[in-house]
A = this chain, B = another copy of it.
Amino acid sequence: MATQRILDFLATRRPSGPCLVVDLDVVRDNFRAFEKALPDSKIYYAVKANPAPEILRLLAAMGSSFDTASVAEVEMAMDAGAPADRISFGNTIKKERDIARAYQLGIRLFAVDCVEEVEKIARVAPGARVFCRVLTDGEGAEWPLSRKFGCVPAMAVDVLRHAKGLGLDAYGVSFHVGSQQTDLTAWDRALADAKKVFATLAEEGIVLKMVNMGGGFPTRYLKDVPVAQAYGQAIFSALRKHFGNALPETIIEPGRGMVGNAGVIKSEVVLISKKADNDNVRWVFLDIGKFGGLAETMDEAIRYPLVTRHDGSETAPCVLAGPTCDSADVMYEKTPYPLPLSLTIGDEVLIEGTGAYTTTYSAVAFNGFEPLRSYVI
């Protein structure tokens, strides 16, 4: 996944210290693949995955819409050229003053998952469209979602009815099948729930129009995943099955799926050592770790592919850790990572599939280390 452009950039520029390099060509290809796979769905790029201005400008120019988590992200999307009607305020947890600010900026589409949030929106964003997030089971996801977002489908009916009663546009429902979702039937189950909310409210004369199918589209880490096309077909079949000919508008919110495989982190081996002479597992310390951008190695959830100049030679398991004085800054320990025996201090290690959820997760200055630098080419 380190494209030739990325390799050439690293060879030419030789940046010192860890950095992320993102290849816009890959982002462009990913956007087109989503368009082709789900031609009837609008793509709302999840800005939080990687808000680099170059990425936002490319996607805005290609016609993408944007899913934002804060007023700052709304502003980033607008600065990149997206008009307000292509921006959704997709965070279900918003301060009332932030809703008001987004409304002033022209935002008219808001996520909710409870009546309390509906009431804030009714007060400061009159007439806005709201969609209610429903809880899904998250089965099959590599980074399963907790119950943090959404409510049970029965409560979603109440929430949307309440919105309508307060003069808002009860616009639709959303769900998220969990990040890196590889079980295609997850969308089927979630769409069945969505349809129930549509049907119940239709009986009361409230006609929802949109289903926001969220993200969860995987990027390729170590395992092969079904390609976008397969996702598109499975989702379209599920839509037909549950909604028949009365297909709603649909939205998807890829984040990781749009930029994950477009980025590679360049790092350096700082130290290789053992804890005792008779240990058979080496500790390999890189100049980037959990607090420098690899937060998603938490609980060893995401296992990034590592590339070194010694690949192909004999390997042995290593504990992989970051450079900070924090004992929690260990990426892979329970399941040690096989790395070449010939790996040495000073060697470059490329960490692939790191275009999403790295730069922004990076700690601002932990241990005095600067946040992850990023180059978008």
Contacts and interface: CB of A to CB of B under 8 A. Distances in A.
Interface stretch (A189-197, A233-241, A325-333): A325-333
Contact of A48 (B96, B285, B345, B368): B368
A295 B295 CA distance: 11
Nearest to A135: B275
Chain copies in complex: 2
A69 interface: yes
Given A114-B271, A277-B154, A145 B327 contact: yes
Given A146-B327, A275-B155, A345-B116, A360 B366 contact: yes
Given A148-B329, A276-B152, A325-B90, A367 B95 contact: no
Interface stretch (A20-28, A36-44, A70-78, A205-213): A70-78
A298 interface: yes
B367 A148 contact: no
Contacts of A113: 273, 275
Contact of A369 (B72, B96, B147, B268): B72
A289 to B, nearest CB: 10
A336 to B, nearest CB: 13
Contacts of A263: none
A90 B324 CA distance: 11
Contacts of A268: 95
Interface in A15-71: 46-48, 51, 68-71
Q: Taking chain A's interface residues, is the majority helix, strand, or loop, or is none over half, making it mixed?
A: loop
Nearest to A144: B327
B368 A150 contact: no
A370 B362 CA distance: 12
Contacts of A321: 93, 148
A275 B150 contact: yes
A161 interface: no
A69 B324 contact: yes
Contacts of A273: 113-114, 116-117, 151
A346 B95 CA distance: 8
Closest 10 CB pairs of A and B: A72-B368, A114-B273, A73-B368, A70-B368, A145-B327, A69-B367, A364-B371, A152-B276, A69-B325, A360-B366
Contact of A363 (B285, B298, B360): B360
